[in-house]
Structure formats: C-alpha cells, structure tokens
C-alpha cells in the first residue's frame, strides 16, 4: 500500500513502455487460460454426453463462467433439458461433472461398486464411518451438553428497544451449530471459547466463499496459487480464512498437548485408544489423535486435516439445515406452537434422549420438508469413475469423470411431489399415514437424496 501511495504521489512513475509490457503480459496470460479451458474441456469431455449448452468454443467458456457465478442455476438448466437422461458440465482443467437425471440411471449408479465408481477422493469413508458410530454410541451423553450450548447461544441474543432481535437466521444458525457441534469435536471448554467459535465460523464461511473460485486453479498449481485466490475471493467480507485457521490450529495444538499429557499418565487410556472414563462422550479430535498415535494410522498433520474437513462438513451441512428451518419458521410462524407442544410432551415422557427424538414425528416431517426445499448442495451422491463406467443406454464415462445426481431439483420436481414449490411441514406425516415408506428425515429414496444414496450415503 505504501508503495502504491509513493507511486501515485508522482515521485515514482513507471515508464510507459513498462506499462505496455505488463498489459501485454496480462492479455497473453488471459488468452492462454481461455485456450487451456477450451482444450481441456474438449479433450476430457465424454463422448455422446451432451453439455448443458453446446461444445462450441464460446459456449464452453460461458459454461465455465455460469458455473462459477451460478452453479445451481446451470444445473437446473441442464436438468430441465435432460430430465430423461444425463448431461455434462465442464470443470476447469479436469474431467467434467456428469449429472444423471433419469431414475433408472440413478439406480444404476446407486448399485455401482466402489471398484468402478468410488466416493470423491477427499471423502475418506472409513474415518467418517467410525466417527458416526462413535457419536451415535455416545449420543445420549452428547444431548445435555448440546442443549446447554443452544441455550447459551439463545442467551447471547441481543434485542433492540422494540424487543426485536436483529440477528439473521443464517448467522444464528451457524452460531448454534458451531457451538453445539464443538462439544462433540473438541469438548466443552473449547465449545465455550468465543475466540475458537468465531474462528470456526469464519474459517467455514471463508471456505464456502473460496471453494468455487478454487475450481479455476489447476490441481498442480493449488499449492502455489490457492492462498492468493482464497484471499482475493474473500475481499470485502469479514471472513479471513487464513487468520481463522491459525487460531484453530493454535487451539488444536494446545488440546493435543493435553491429550499427550493424559496419555503419559498410567491408566489414562486403554490399548484401544479409548478413554477409560465413561461419564462423558468421546471427543472426535481426541479419538483421531489417540488412534493416530497408538496405531500409526495418520501423522499429526493428517489428523489436523481430518479435523478441518470434518468440521467443515458437519457445520456447513447442519448449519444450512438449521438455517432453512429457522427461515421457514419465520415465514410461517403457525408451525411454532404445534412443534413446541410436541417437543414438550415427548420430553416429559422420555427426557432429552435419542428415543425421545425418534418420537417427534411432526418435527421430523418439518425438518425433512426444510431439507427438501433447502438442501446444502445442488448435487449429491458424488462419485469418481475409477474405471470406465457403462450405463444401460450405452454411454460410457471415462475414468476420472465425476458423477452426481441433481438432488436439489429432483426434490422440487412435480414427478415426485404434489405442488412441489409449496412448503408443507406435515407433508411426510401425511405420506406416512397414507402408507408410504421412506418418510423420516434420514430415509433415502429416489425423490430425496440430501444424504446421497446407496452404500456411500452419509
């Protein structure tokens, strides 16, 4: 900044020839990027798979632009045109994204084994699977702490002179999920540490802002350009992803040091890497750290990578779901009292337990309808072709191709739902009463794909 002010003050003016050279370099660089996008999109595209628009040069560049600024809109355009088949969206400097719309083809993808089409490489199915089992095993012991976290966040709300709360649904949802989820991730103390919680939210929201822009960077250049791109993507926002990551790592390091001290004490943990005490739930970070140390599964940097990834996945998806629920309650407050009555009646009989949650059929239906209309992503059931994948219609996808299902638009389709654009909080209660199956929040089916499908559903 000081250098720019020095130049603009007139003390140092760059030669005209230098400016011309710089402009020329930028133009050449831009042309190389555009040409590379055209060539890679054409070479890596799958034969006989239509693009959303066309494979003409200008159309390919335009599709890259549309995906960057409005990916869901581009996917909807493709779904409207190819609802009885599949289509492809070019991905920058890598294999395209093939979107499967036809129910029969979706079912074929569902039944395709991991040896042919596996989950995307960044999704480690083993670790999340074990963590899901660990969290579910201790869920009864998590609930009181998570309820306490929600109440703490409610007490932190501020009201103006007219007794109205001015916080946005989005901000409040992510604050609640960051605080309550941190109990499971890192324990009670950090779940009440305001510096840590602020860093969690800023890091995740910064990642959301930068992810799509990062698609413009080739994988081999990400280590060199990724940091610069992410900083540019968050200009004008208050989400400094890099500063927040430093804060998170500082707290992770301090927590890991405590784990090491406890492990050094005789009787601290057993030979399976689990804390002997059973009066509190296992922290996910502790489980990852101790498993890596005792069984040499990961390095410490890999453990931190798993934590950041799991934290993002958990808080982003759950935060978005809660945001949708709060937004619908704000729009349609007539649902508030019936849902509150059900929660109070069930808690009176079962207490704050997992069986109690299973009895809240109205709340379950309400949340599922929110997820139907407000899914966290436009595409689900992501797969990567390990080998050539052939469908019954004769189309063969190349190894390396990314495959997915347009869940966001399927869940708004009149082929599956009556009056699909209208919010009906009791839609799935009515379906269950009529004898339909797959009506609970976590049930998956061809018309509800929020959590993926098949053996890789999460």
CATH number at 436 reads 1.10.630.10
Classify residue 44: in a domain, yes or no: no
Classify residue 77: in a domain, yes or no: no
Taking phi over 0 as left and psi of -120 to 50 as alpha, with beta for the rest, 48 belongs to left
Classify residue 89: in a domain, yes or no: no
Query: Structural domain of residue 177, as residue ranges?
Result: 126-456
Report the alpha-carbon distance of residue 223 to residue 241 in Å, rounded: 16
Number of domains forming the structure of the chain: 1
Report the alpha-carbon distance of residue 376 to residue 452 in Å, rounded: 12
Classify residue 97: in a domain, yes or no: no
Radius of gyration (Cα) for the chain, nearest Å? 25
Closest by CA position to 259, among listed 317, 210, 303: 303
Residues, the chain, total? Answer: 458
Burial class (CB in 10 A: 0-12, 13-18, 19+), 446: middle
Which residues of the chain carry a pLDDT beneath 70?
1-16, 120-136, 212, 214-216, 226, 229, 232-237, 266-281, 454-458
Classify residue 294: in a domain, yes or no: yes
Taking only the tens place, the pLDDT of each residue in 142-184 is 777 778 888 888 888 877 777 777 777 888 888 888 888 888 8
CB 52 within 8 A of CB 46: no
Classify residue 292: in a domain, yes or no: yes
Q: What is the pLDDT of residue 8?
A: 44
Report the alpha-carbon distance of residue 322 to residue 330 in Å, rounded: 12
């Amino acid at each position: 900044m000081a250098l720019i002010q020095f130049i603009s003050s007139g003390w140092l003016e760059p030669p005209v020839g230098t400016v011309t050279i710089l402009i020329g370099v930028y133009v050449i660089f831009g042309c190389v990027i555009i040409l590379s996008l055209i060539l890679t999109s054409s070479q890596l595209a799958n034969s006989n798979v239509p693009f959303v628009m066309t494979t003409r040069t200008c159309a390919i560049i335009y599709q890259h632009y549309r995906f960057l600024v409005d990916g869901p809109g581009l996917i909807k355009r493709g779904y409207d045109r190819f609802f009885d088949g599949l289509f492809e969206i070019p991905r920058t400097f890598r294999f395209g994204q093939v979107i499967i719309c036809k129910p029969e083809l979706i079912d074929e993808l569902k039944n395709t084994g991991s040896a042919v089409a596996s989950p995307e490489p960044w999704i480690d199915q083993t670790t999340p699977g074990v963590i899901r089992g660990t969290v579910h095993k201790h869920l009864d012991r998590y609930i009181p702490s998570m309820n306490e976290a929600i109440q703490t966040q409610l007490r932190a709300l501020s009201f103006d002179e007219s007794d109205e709360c001015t916080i946005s649904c989005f901000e409040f949802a992510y604050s609640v999920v960051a605080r309550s989820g941190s109990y499971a991730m890192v324990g009670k103390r950090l779940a009440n540490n305001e510096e840590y919680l602020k860093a969690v939210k800023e890091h995740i929201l910064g990642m959301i802002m930068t992810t799509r822009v990062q698609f413009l960077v080739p994988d081999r250049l990400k280590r060199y350009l990724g940091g610069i791109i992410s900083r540019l993507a968050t200009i004008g926002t208050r989400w400094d992803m890099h500063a927040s990551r430093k804060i998170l790592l500082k707290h992770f390091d301090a927590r890991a040091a405590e784990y090491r001290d406890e492990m050094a004490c005789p009787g601290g943990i057993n030979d399976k890497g689990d804390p002997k005490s059973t009066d509190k739930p296992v922290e996910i970070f502790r489980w990852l750290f101790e498993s890596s140390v005792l069984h040499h599964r990961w390095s410490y940097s890999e453990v931190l990578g798993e934590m950041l990834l799991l934290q993002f996945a958990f808080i982003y998806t759950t935060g978005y779901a809660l945001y949708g629920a709060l937004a619908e309650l704000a729009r349609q407050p007539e649902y508030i009292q019936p849902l509150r009555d059900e929660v109070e009646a069930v808690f009176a009989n079962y207490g704050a337990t997992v069986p109690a949650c299973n009895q809240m059929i109205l709340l379950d239906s309400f949340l599922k309808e929110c997820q139907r209309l407000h899914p966290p992503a436009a595409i689900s059931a992501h797969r990567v072709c390990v080998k050539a994948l052939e469908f019954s219609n004769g189309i063969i996808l190349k190894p390396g191709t990314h495959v997915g299902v347009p869940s966001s638009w399927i869940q708004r389709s009149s082929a599956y739902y009556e009056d699909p654009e209208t919010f009906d909080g009791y839609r799935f209660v009515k379906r269950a009463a009529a004898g339909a199956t797959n009506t609970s929040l976590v049930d998956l089916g061809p018309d509800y794909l929020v959590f993926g499908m098949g053996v890789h559903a999460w």
